[in-house]
């Protein structure tokens, strides 16, 4: 058994109310479709999320550390994102500057 430090998954984010068969169907659908080059990054993000969700279906050793309602988790994540955005914004001489993420 491996221990991963400082890594936590919010299962609410990963489980989008799809069962294992539906996730496998979406994999096949994406695999057999032609994705235009300008949308390939979107397809890759979707495939990554589906892989994470598919892996969670097979995990038997999930440990529930705390239970929260989905709305509260979403509100907390929105609040955190807003606080990070406010930290990046700077106003000088009537101009608004936004620090680049990189």
Question: How confident is the model over 6-63, as pLDDT tens digits?
Answer: 555 555 555 556 777 888 888 888 888 888 888 888 888 888 888 887 787 777 666 6
Distance in angstroms (rounded) separating the CA atoms of residues 77 and 83: 10
Phi and psi, residue 94, nearest 5°: 75, 5
Query: pTM for the complete prediction?
Result: 0.42
Cα–Cα nearest to 39, from 29, 30, 50 = 30
């Amino acid at each position: 058994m491996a221990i991963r430090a400082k890594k936590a998954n919010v299962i609410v984010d990963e489980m989008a109310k799809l069962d294992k068969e539906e996730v496998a169907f979406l994999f096949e659908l994406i695999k057999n479709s032609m994705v235009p080059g300008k949308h390939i990054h979107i397809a890759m993000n979707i495939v990554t999320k589906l892989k994470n969700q598919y892996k969670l279906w097979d995990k038997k050793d999930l440990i529930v550390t705390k239970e929260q309602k989905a709305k509260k988790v979403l509100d907390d994540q929105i609040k955190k994102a807003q606080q990070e955005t406010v930290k990046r914004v700077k106003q000088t001489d009537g101009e608004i500057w936004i620090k680049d993420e990189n």
